[in-house]
A = this chain, B = another copy of it.
């Protein structure tokens, strides 16, 4: 084992009896190098245990081989504890898993970045000079200025979930409206007469789309008006919303809940209220997260292929990193309904 200093290109060159340039060419597999020299160099590399220094390489190539996963919450102050709660959400893990599935084969690193309202400028600065080659952005709140800043700075970036305001930036998203419509159709098909909805926060695009899509579809089925209570995507808020919905509309016999976690809460409240699911009240969730399977009765829900979407985002980003002038593009995934027991 080397004492302290790690072997450098120089060392390998000396051992192999060639110049640094030649070693560099061999290591990077470039150009025509005499096969004999090629061989010679490789043995020298093995022998010295040489590993190229990433920093030095990046300094000249202007490439880091890293992309950032930016969790942006512009409404949160930088040292708020809020965001750590976000990490516990299955959402986060699914995204990471999806990203990794394409990043790892491409030998690209993933660096985690959290940024609150105050960090936007610094983040863009850091990104601009090679903190990372690009960024996948998870924009929590509505009207996040970050996508715009990123676009202005010409930093390769891909959003997961469409931006609230139109911005020239690539993104992947789910056809949330279609998904919500699927839920509405199911409820209607079951013959529900009095349909309600538990929505997410009103200012999140994905949440808005689910509301719009659900309303439009129920209207098509003859339900002019759908009572709605809103939560913030946590189980607890789902319980609260269900309680209020039930209080206002006792004959409710079908409800669409904008995510599975809230649906879980709704299920508990319904049970406590003595309603059978799905006999008395049919429930449809959204996301098809692991919670949906864990629920009793198992949740009928709209499948949200988050892993695939994250993987696609990673692919788009990689393309964009390769060619910064590539066309801005978006990929919209079609949700499907997963029928289980709750509706």
Question: Could you list which residues of chain A lie within 8 angstroms of chain B, going by C-beta atoms?
Answer: 1, 6, 49, 51-56, 58-59, 64, 66, 79, 81, 83-90, 92-94, 96-98, 100-101, 104-105, 109-114, 125-126, 128-131, 152, 235, 264, 268, 271, 290-291, 293-294, 296, 307
Copies of this protein chain in the complex? 2
Q: Which residues of B contact A64 (CB under 8 A)?
A: 55
Report whether A109 and B113 are in contact in the complex, using a CB–CB cutoff of 8 Å: yes
Q: Which of A88, A126, A296 has the most chain B CB within a 10 Å cutoff?
A: A88
The contact of A129 among B51, B86, B88, by CB within 8 Å, is B51
Of all chain B residues, the one with the shortest Cβ separation from A50 is: B125
How far is the CB of A241 from the nearest CB of chain B, in Å?
16
Complex CA gap A81/B307 in Å reads 12
Q: Which residues of B contact A307 (CB under 8 A)?
A: 84
- Chain A interface, >50% SS class: helix
Report whether A114 and B104 are in contact in the complex, using a CB–CB cutoff of 8 Å: yes
New contact pairs (12) apart from A49-B125, A87-B94, CB-CB < 8 Å? A51-B126, A54-B126, A83-B97, A87-B93, A87-B96, A90-B93, A100-B114, A104-B114, A109-B111, A111-B111, A235-B293, A294-B294
Question: Can you offer 30 A-B residue contacts whose CB atoms are under 8 A?
Answer: A1-B152, A49-B125, A51-B125, A53-B59, A53-B129, A54-B129, A54-B130, A55-B55, A55-B58, A55-B129, A55-B130, A56-B59, A59-B59, A66-B111, A83-B100, A84-B100, A87-B94, A87-B100, A88-B94, A90-B93, A92-B93, A100-B112, A104-B114, A109-B131, A111-B112, A235-B290, A235-B293, A264-B294, A268-B296, A294-B294
Q: Which residues of B contact A1 (CB under 8 A)?
A: 152
Q: Which residues of B contact A125 (CB under 8 A)?
A: 49, 51
Report whether A112 and B114 are in contact in the complex, using a CB–CB cutoff of 8 Å: no
Q: Which residues of B contact A83 (CB under 8 A)?
A: 97, 100
Given contacts A112-B110, A112-B111, A129-B51, contact A294 B96 (CB under 8 A): no
Q: Which residues of B contact A85 (CB under 8 A)?
A: 97
Q: Which of A58, A126, A294 has the most chain B CB within a 10 Å cutoff?
A: A294
Report whether A51 and B84 are in contact in the complex, using a CB–CB cutoff of 8 Å: no
Given contacts A59-B59, A110-B112, A111-B110, contact A130 B88 (CB under 8 A): no
